[in-house]
Amino acid sequence: MTTLTALWIVLALILTMIGMFGLFSPALPGLPLLFTAAWLVAYAGDFHYISNTTLIVLAIITAFGMALDFIAGLIGAKTTGASKKALWGAFWGGVIGILFGLAGMIIGPLIGAAAGEWWQKRNLVSAGKVSIGTFIGILVGVVVKIGCALSMVSIVIFSHLFVLTAS
C-alpha cells in the first residue's frame, strides 16, 4: 500500500465519521459524504474492491435517501389532510429552519405547517393535527436516512470483505 493510498483511505474514514454525524445535523450532507467516502475507497483500491456497479447502487441509495428525507415532512402533513397552504408552510418553515440549526430544522416545518393550516382553515385542532403529522414524517425521514447510511456502509464493508476472501 502506497502512502497516497493510505491517505485516501484515512480521508474516506474521516468523511465516513463526518457523514454519520451529518445524518443528525442539517448543516452537513451525511449521505453525500458517505458516498464520497465510498468513492475514495473504490479509487484507493483501483476499483478492485468496490466496482462501478456498486458505486451506482450507492449513488441510487444516496439519491433516494436525500429525496425521501426532503419530502418526508410534507408526506406526513399530507397524510393528516393538510391543505396546500399547510404544505407550503411546512416547506418554507424547513427552509427558514435551516438557518437555526437542528432545532430549526425540526421546529420550522412544524410551525410552518401549523401556520399554513391555521391560515387556510382557522381551526386550531386541524393545525395541531397537521403539525403532528409533519413531525412524524420528519422522524420517518430521519429513520430512512439512517437506514440508507447503514446500507451504504454495509455494502462497502461487504464488497471489500468479499473480494478479500475470494482472492
With left for phi above 0 and alpha for psi between -120 and 50, is residue 51 left, alpha or beta? Answer: beta
Cα–Cα dist 142/66, whole Å: 10
Between CA 77 and CA 89 the distance in angstroms is: 10
The one-letter code for the residue type at 128 is: G
Q: What is the identity of the amino acid at 25?
A: S
Give the integer Cα–Cα distance in Å for 99 and 75: 22
pTM of the model: 0.79
pLDDT tens, per residue, the chain with 167 residues: 788 888 998 999 999 999 998 887 766 789 999 999 999 999 988 888 888 999 999 999 999 999 988 788 788 888 888 888 988 988 898 889 888 877 887 888 889 888 988 898 888 888 888 888 888 988 888 899 999 999 999 999 998 787 655 55
